[in-house]
Each structure stands twice: as structure tokens, then as C-alpha cells.
Amino acid sequence: DAGVIQSPRHEVTEMGQEVTLRCKPISGHNSLFWYRQTMMRGLELLIYFNNNVPIDDSGMPEDRFSAKMPNASFSTLKIQPSEPRDSAVYFCASSSSQGGNTEAFFGQGTRLTVV
């Protein structure tokens, strides 16, 4: 398996624009996590899905952020409108609860810069 695949790897956008980050989890994994990493706040869990259903979105900073998982092999994180304080590295991770081992595997991340 190619692992968790995120796109784009880098995104530079102007304030006010819509940004969509994409994630393809590892095939067969049934949990998917979106994290944001900044120097100030570390790794923050934004939202996670179990079997394509959002379980906990309490980490989503505000209404400008939304996430979807229309099927088991694809998820998006959208920011609209984007602001400079959204600049961060966004990671997607997936895991499997089969067999009790929920080790999460991370994608390479999307480095977002909002100017």
C-alpha cells in the first residue's frame, strides 16, 4: 500500500480564498483523522471519522472549517474563507480498529500558507 496520500503537498493562497485539502487513507482503514500542526499549538485534532461518519468535530476551530468523507477512500478538509492564522501543516492519518490495534499512519502533510 502507498500509505496515506495527501494533496497538495504545499498550498499558498490569498486571504479570503477557499482552500481544499485532500486525503486518501490506507485501504481497509476505517478511521480517519485530520490534524493541524503549528509551533504555537502543537498537534491539534480537528476532526475524526469512523466508518465515514464524523465522530468528533470539537477541534474544528470555527465555521470556516468543514470536513467530509463521502466514501471510505477519500476525505476533504475545506477552509472558506481562509485567513493568515490558518497557516499550518495539516496532516491526515488513518487507522484500523480491526484486531484491536488502532495505530495511526500519517500522510506527508499539506503545508498551507495564507498570505
x-or-dash pattern for other proteins, window 77-106, by CB under 8 A? --------------x-x-x-x--xxxxxxx
Give CA torsion, residues 49, 50, 52, 56, to 10 deg. -30
Which of 21, 33, 34, 60 is close enough to bind other proteins by CB under 8 A?
33
CB of 39 to other proteins, least distance (A): 10
Closest CA to 19 of 64, 79, 89, 91: 79
| Contact between 110 and other proteins per CB under 8 A | no
Where residue 113 falls (left for φ over 0; alpha for ψ -120 to 50; beta otherwise) is beta
Distance of CA 62 to the CA centre of its chain: 15
Site of interaction with other proteins (CB under 8 A):
31, 33, 35, 42-43, 45, 48, 50, 55-56, 91, 93, 95, 97, 100-109
